[in-house]
Structure 1
Amino acid sequence: MNTYYREHEPVMPSFDRPAGCPFDPSPDLTALRAELPIARLAAPEGAPGVWLVTGYELVRQIFADPRFSARYETQYHPLMGAQLPPAPIGDLTGMDAPEHTRIRKMLIGKFTVRRMNQLTERVTEITRTQLDEMDKLGPPADLVQVFAHPVPAQTICELLGVPYDERADFMGFTQSLSSDDDAEAQLVAFTRLGEYLRDLARAKRANPTDDLLSDLTATDMTEDELGGVAAFLLAAGLDTTANMLSLGTFALLRNPSQLAALRDDPSLADGAVEELLRYLSIATTGMRGVLEDVELGGAPLKAGDTVIIAVNAANRDPAKFSGPDVLDVRRSAAGHLAFGHGIHQCLGQQLARVEMRVAFPALPARFPSLRLAVPAQEVPLRDPIQIYGVRSLPVTWE
């Protein structure tokens, strides 16, 4: 096993993206990856040990090793200065086996090839409708509001079987939930959505239809678990894909040769999606709690320690990807960690791929002259430690 660690004074790097380079990891993370792929972070006296991992090989090891727990309550958050509370019911990202195994087994069989094929047809229709709406409204437009958010939001409606006459209210809740500007509106929307999804699960149990939530009512999940899993699927499948579509479009507009390549050769779509996932790594960081003493890359981790995983730095590791800071839609980005790795690898990754494979080529095909409506430095960005993306993306076209 390779040794990556050497004794050093605890560090406290910045996670901020470099000025003028909104798609790149923090320069501090890049420097640590080169010098200390696993580094001890500064923490208050008496706090558990906190480690930062930036190297690809080490991140992959952590994701695959059950000695690193996904349960939130095993993790110490250095910015909060406290252990995290347990995950909400149904949140698979905060579970370990056997609870995680039980619920994931019930879910994974529902993401069938048939259902993904059905959703591909609907995603194509949804994408076409949103492009029509965008064309009708005319330039300039906020791509987040007219395209990047509605496409995955309506796809989630299809997946969960939200009745058509209830979708307007549902979409309104999801818009509020995705707003970074109004914490009170977010909380209200989160509460209302939770109530709505629990009611929807009860309705599906009484009168099942051809959708994933109805399928789950035939399992041994409790009502609380059904509502929680539905909320988890909404959270996991909406914000991430919406931000991939908007930030990915921003990245392509800033790399016009790559946008032109995708526009001129739609067969590049599959590879372009994987490369954008690698290049952007919008789920920038993750955390794991250390369950027992373990050596990782030569570093002596203790039971009770916390590991912060810099996925965006790992996906730019030159030891794995040649020329990693260049966006190249013709690259083979196989092995990227944007969806994680191991038993917690993203359950809905194929659905996200379906949406992006349809949407990314469709946008420049419909609007060949698409471009930013404001200088790139004026595009408002989201918090770099959360799901990364843009708050809005003003675009225009001829």
Structure 2
Amino acid sequence: MRPPPPPPEGTLTPFDPGDPDFLADPYPTFAALRALGPVHDHPLLGVPVAVSHAACSEVLRGRDLGRIWVDAEPAAAFGAFNLLHRNSLLEREGPPHDRLRRLVAGAFNRGHTARLEPRVRALADELVGRLAEQVRHDGSGDLIAGVAAVLPVEVIAELLGVPEPERSALRGWSNTIVTMYEPDPGRIRRAAAERASAEFVEALRGLAEHRRRRPGDDLVTDLLDADLDADELVGTAALLLMAGHEATVNVIGNGVLALLRHPAQWRRLRDDPALDATAVEELIRYDPPLQLFERTAVADTTVAGHPVPAGTKIAALLGAAARDPAVFARPDELDVARRPNAHLGFGAGVHYCLGAPLARVEVAATLDALRRALPDVRLAAEPPRRPDFVMRGLRELQLASG
């Protein structure tokens, strides 16, 4: 395979999504790309990328752009992974999407966020309290392992009504399946993603059958009442798991790291709980957990003047949109009171995240628990990042106090 030709004079060499230096801080690269234009071809990713806020908004909202699922190949080797995505709300367009979104939104909006909020806040208090004890006893504790990775899994398990032992397996399934979204996951991770998908399908089908016989106060029961077929129910549950878990883990990790690297902003938030709502939005904007979102042209179209022929893909670089000075004043500064804040962290248009209200509750509950249990929190060590580009997050975040 020949390497891509050198870029024309006056352009930047496309970033390498696997380069550790780029992953450590991609935002200067994004700023340089924005300065050259709103859309750029990217041979390493294999798709053009939108880097301005306006261009990314076009990608997310354009009527001639959609999510057209193409099975992972060889299809016979990825039956469960393909089933989850072929039946996902995120991978449908037009009337099939509208029908499924209406049914899922109707089920999701039956008071589940309000029902879960007291449990979310109590669980955040419990987990952060344990972390604070560990910090006092050992001198440091890992926010990711102790809080961020546990809270959203427990909340999603409560939402779906998942019992043990499957509840304990949810985090591993989610972490493994989402590696398939990276530009080059490799043979071993692809095989592991299929195994995790198969285990998830089996567990959710068993849960659905149980709820048919014994309905409960959970989303699976409401989805059954909404008349989703068996595969649609499993695909919807998988989307909630992967989007809800991965996004919340990484918002909490990336966000708390940003606050501790801007201690004046942490003190401001610590001393004024009224800032929690704006702080949550700012943490999502400042270092987004999802960096890239692809769509496919269903008809010949353009994005910011860049041609996108029918059948070809284009990606929105959400991290680049989040630092666009045309939309955000002082975009590289963290401001927990920022208003307005038109970030794209929950998407836009027909695929706007249905779980956004619940994710906001989880992040706000964690910040409130940290405020009370570890008011003088600080970094105990430089945190290692996950080696992934699309899903941006930390392996661990060791905290200390005092």
Tell me the alpha carbon deviations over residues 306-341 of structure 1, each in whole angstroms, 9 at most, x when there is no partner: 212111101110001111011110111432101111
Change (3 A) 1:171 1:95: same
Alignment-mate amino acid for residue 355 of structure 2: G
User: Is residue 377 of structure 2 the alignment partner of residue 386 of structure 1?
Assistant: no
2 CA distance for matches of 1:50 and 1:12?
A: 15
User: Is residue 269 of structure 2 the alignment partner of residue 265 of structure 1?
Assistant: no
| TM value normalised by structure 2 | 0.84
Structure 2 matches for 1:206-245, cutoff 5 A?
Answer: 206-245=213-252
Q: CA shift at 1:110, angstroms?
A: 2.5
Tell me the alpha carbon deviations over residues 53-86 of structure 1, each in whole angstroms, 9 at most, x when there is no partner: 10111111221112111123399xxxxxxxx979
User: Is residue 200 of structure 2 the alignment partner of residue 193 of structure 1?
Assistant: yes
2 CA distance for matches of 1:19 and 1:226?
A: 38
- Secondary structure of 1:13's aligned partner: coil
Change (3 A) 1:19 1:257: farther
Query: Residues 12 and 42 of structure 1 are in contact (CA less than 8 Å); yes or no, is this contact kept in structure 2?
Result: no
Alignment-derived partner of residue 126 in structure 1: 123
Alignment-mate amino acid for residue 171 of structure 1: S
Alignment-derived partner of residue 374 in structure 2: 367
Alignment-derived partner of residue 148 in structure 2: 148
Task: Identify which range, 142-151 or 66-75, moves more after superposition.
Answer: 66-75
Q: CA shift at 1:95, angstroms?
A: 1.5
Q: CA shift at 1:27, angstroms?
A: 3.0
User: Is residue 67 of structure 2 the alignment partner of residue 66 of structure 1?
Assistant: no
> For the aligned residues, what is the CA RMSD?
2.9
Alignment-mate amino acid for residue 141 of structure 1: G
Change (3 A) 1:308 1:86: farther
Alignment-derived partner of residue 313 in structure 1: 320
Tell me the alpha carbon deviations over residues 126-183 of structure 1, each in whole angstroms, 9 at most, x when there is no partner: 11121232234444211111111111111111110123xx1x5422441464367994
Structure 2 matches for 1:77-116, cutoff 5 A?
Answer: 88-112=85-109, 114-116=111-113
Query: Residues 69 and 85 of structure 2 are in contact (CA less than 8 Å); yes or no, is this contact kept in structure 1?
Result: no
Query: Residues 74 and 304 of structure 1 are in contact (CA less than 8 Å); yes or no, is this contact kept in structure 2?
Result: no
Change (3 A) 1:39 1:74: farther
Q: Give the counterpart of 2:167 among 156, 170, 195.
A: 170
Q: CA shift at 1:279, angstroms?
A: 0.8
Query: Residues 205 and 214 of structure 1 are in contact (CA less than 8 Å); yes or no, is this contact kept in structure 2?
Result: yes
Change (3 A) 1:177 1:42: closer
Alignment-derived partner of residue 345 in structure 1: 352
Query: Residues 74 and 290 of structure 1 are in contact (CA less than 8 Å); yes or no, is this contact kept in structure 2?
Result: no
- Secondary structure of 2:396's aligned partner: coil
- Secondary structure of 1:308's aligned partner: strand
Alignment-derived partner of residue 330 in structure 1: 337
User: Is residue 47 of structure 2 the alignment partner of residue 55 of structure 1?
Assistant: no
Q: CA shift at 1:122, angstroms?
A: 0.8
- Secondary structure of 1:331's aligned partner: coil
- Secondary structure of 2:294's aligned partner: strand
1 CA distance for matches of 2:249 and 2:103?
A: 26
Greater per-residue helix proportion: 2
2 CA distance for matches of 1:134 and 1:339?
A: 29
Task: Identify which range, 170-179 or 357-366, moves more after superposition.
Answer: 170-179
Query: Residues 83 and 235 of structure 2 are in contact (CA less than 8 Å); yes or no, is this contact kept in structure 1?
Result: no
Change (3 A) 1:85 1:147: closer
1 CA distance for matches of 2:173 and 2:99?
A: 32
Alignment-derived partner of residue 4 in structure 1: none
Change (3 A) 1:174 1:98: same
- Secondary structure of 1:303's aligned partner: coil
Q: CA shift at 1:291, angstroms?
A: 1.8
Tell me the alpha carbon deviations over residues 216-269 of structure 1, each in whole angstroms, 9 at most, x when there is no partner: 111221112212211221111111101111111111111111111111001100
Alignment-mate amino acid for residue 143 of structure 2: L
Change (3 A) 1:325 1:17: farther
Change (3 A) 1:286 1:86: farther
2 CA distance for matches of 1:72 and 1:190?
A: 16
2 CA distance for matches of 1:151 and 1:29?
A: 31
Q: CA shift at 1:105, angstroms?
A: 0.6
Alignment-derived partner of residue 28 in structure 1: 29
- Secondary structure of 1:72's aligned partner: coil
| TM value normalised by structure 1 | 0.85
2 CA distance for matches of 1:228 and 1:306?
A: 23
Task: Identify which range, 315-324 or 115-124, moves more after superposition.
Answer: 115-124
Query: Residues 153 and 171 of structure 2 are in contact (CA less than 8 Å); yes or no, is this contact kept in structure 1?
Result: yes
Alignment-derived partner of residue 39 in structure 1: 40
Q: CA shift at 1:113, angstroms?
A: 6.9
Q: CA shift at 1:43, angstroms?
A: 7.4
User: Is residue 253 of structure 2 the alignment partner of residue 246 of structure 1?
Assistant: yes
User: Is residue 397 of structure 2 the alignment partner of residue 396 of structure 1?
Assistant: no
Alignment-derived partner of residue 281 in structure 2: 274
2 CA distance for matches of 1:17 and 1:316?
A: 21
Alignment-derived partner of residue 295 in structure 1: 302
Report the identity percentage: 33
Alignment-mate amino acid for residue 398 of structure 2: P
Q: CA shift at 1:197, angstroms?
A: 1.3
2 CA distance for matches of 1:300 and 1:88?
A: 28
Q: CA shift at 1:90, angstroms?
A: 3.1
Change (3 A) 1:86 1:57: farther
